[in-house]
Amino acid sequence: MTKKYIPILTIAGSDSSGGAGIQADIKTMSALGCYAASAITSITVQNTTGVTAVEALRPEIVAGQIKAVMDDIHPKSVKIGMVNDTATITAIAEELRRHNEPDYLVIDPVMVSTSGSRLMQEDALETFRRELMPLATLLTPNIPEAEVLSGVRISDDTSCDAAARVIAKAMKTGGYMLIKGGHTGGNEKQDRLYDSSGLFVTAFTQHAIDTCNTHGTGCTLSSAVTCYLAMGMHMEEAIGKAKEYVSMAIAAGADVSIGGGHGPVNHFFCPEPMRKTR
């Protein structure tokens, strides 16, 4: 019987500095031994200090990339990162529905970059809620993104739980939401997992690492979860493994200087060989 790789599709924007976006996705998926295919949604002009321009690709080109991969490579899992505008969001949702969605769809609602630049047009937010969120197996907003999606100011676990209940109204049955606490202060960072009704499931807590090299950590985490789900892990295990990978990647790149701003993590601190299945 012919062996196969584990194919993953990332749908995201391109980061010219190589630390986030589709470049971080491909690095993560490759480092974890999966086969990374891609559909680029937009081109950003950016480096470690910020984003100066965003050019969205035509929606039909984005949809065409997705169709080409889905028709031929049949990815088991799909990750969606930066989507800039309403037309592109609609095109992505329609193409995924046309292919009956993948087994697992992880959506990282990239709205603002690490440097503070806005990456999703304001008028696209409602389309994102209506078209993409109901398709998600897992949604991974950070606290600022969860505040935008819910309209709830998050200051503690109670308000985080309240925000999750609001966001969950747009989620599909059986989906999960991970609200990431990396933007909070203190020596410990906590991510909180919720089910599709907005009920708290569990928390993932890790010690903060003293470094400014955190560019692309959200992209990296969501890509890692996408890989581990495709490998057959259940949700909590996949998130736990992904959290461990990201923490080790941050630690491995903590003292390395790339650029003058927020540098990248070290995705290839211990790369896996390409995994093969029957």
Q: Which two tokens stand for residue 4?
A: 């196969």
Catalytically annotated residue among 18, 19, 198, 218: 218
| CB proximity list for 61: less than 8 A, separation 6 or greater | none
Catalytically annotated residue among 28, 127, 217, 226: 217
The question of whether 44 is a catalytic residue gets the answer no
Grouping H, G, I as helix, E, B as strand and the rest as coil, residue 216 is coil
Q: What span, in angstroms and rounded, lies between the C-alpha atoms of 272 and 185?
A: 33
Positions of E strands within 6-93: 7-15, 35-47, 50-56, 77-80
The question of whether 21 is a catalytic residue gets the answer no
Catalytically annotated residue among 34, 160, 219, 227: 219
The question of whether 226 is a catalytic residue gets the answer no
Residue 200: in which H helix or E strand, if any? strand 200-207
| Distances from the Cα of 89 to the Cα of 1, 59, 77, 109, 156, angstroms | 38, 8, 18, 11, 31
The question of whether 214 is a catalytic residue gets the answer yes
The question of whether 79 is a catalytic residue gets the answer no
DSSP 85: S
Longest dimension (CA), the chain: 54
The question of whether 217 is a catalytic residue gets the answer yes
Catalytically annotated residue among 137, 214, 220, 226: 214
Strands 7-15 and 35-47, bridge-based pairing: parallel
Catalytically annotated residue among 76, 79, 180, 189: 180
Catalytically annotated residue among 216, 227, 243, 253: 216
Q: So which residues are the catalytic ones?
A: 180, 214, 216-219
